[in-house]
Amino acid sequence: MTRSPTVSEYDACMEAPQQEPSDEPLEVMLRRSDELHEALLQLLDGAEFDPSPRGEAAFGMCSVALEHGLSLRALMAMGLATSAVGLMRLQFEALTRAMWLQYAASDLAIEKLSAPLTLQSEQAAKNLPSASEMIEQIGKRVGPNVPAAAHQMLAHFKDVSWHSLNSFVHGGIHPLRRQSEGFPVHLALQILRNSNGLLTMTAMTLAVLTWDEAVAKPMSKIQPAFADCLPDLLK
């Protein structure tokens, strides 16, 4: 089943009038982040993805995660950094759900999420695991078909970022302080690096869904070219 139209849609979102390069750190990071996004999508362009219900569900959640990452960068470019941080929580949870669907979800859970949207199916889907539970379930499946690195990266991101992201999402001390004191450039740069890390993990998940080494192998080697805009864990 070919998914290239979806990839093309993301390519269209990335298109913008060419501007003169800037030496401002945030603008440089935004430009490099867009270049990373484009490079990842080029590797996936024209690929065929797992057509099973499990593959369909995981692919769909990867698409949601990609959209959140793209939206985060758009908000950063507009100077709306506080709102952008809230989107990183959504990006992380969409990626976590995608990897859980791929590696650990039961067939019943797949069925619940793949059902047409009704009041009944909405209620049934509310009973699915939390992000912490999904990460734990992925960890229990680590083995030949579930890479340990996938679980480790999700667990590490949650351990480091979860409390501050909750604060931004739920109107805690973090967004209040940022509104009154400003948003430091170094913090904005770190937010973009972390989001790019989630973007790269999402693309790796999509590459696995192709079952094609010609896609998965180069995807696993793309990080060094973009080490300047990725978190240390993925360099």
Q: What is the DSSP string of 33-44?
A: HHHHHHHHHHHH
Q: Per-residue pLDDT for 217 more than 50?
A: yes
Hey, what's the torsion of the CAs at 111, 112, 118, 122, to 10 degrees? Answer: -170
pLDDT at 126: 83
Predicted TM-score of the model (pTM)? 0.87
Q: What count of other Cβ atoms lies within 10 Å of the Cβ of residue 59?
A: 22
How far is CA 55 from each of CA 45, 95, 133, 159, rounded to the nearest angstrom? Answer: 17, 14, 21, 28
pLDDT-derived band at 128 (thresholds 50, 70, 90) equals confident
User: Which has more confidence, 14 or 225?
Assistant: 225
Give the tens place of pLDDT for each residue, 11-43. Answer: 444 454 444 444 599 999 999 999 999 999 999
pLDDT-derived band at 123 (thresholds 50, 70, 90) equals confident
Per the document, the length of the chain is 235
Domain boundaries, the chain: 50-234
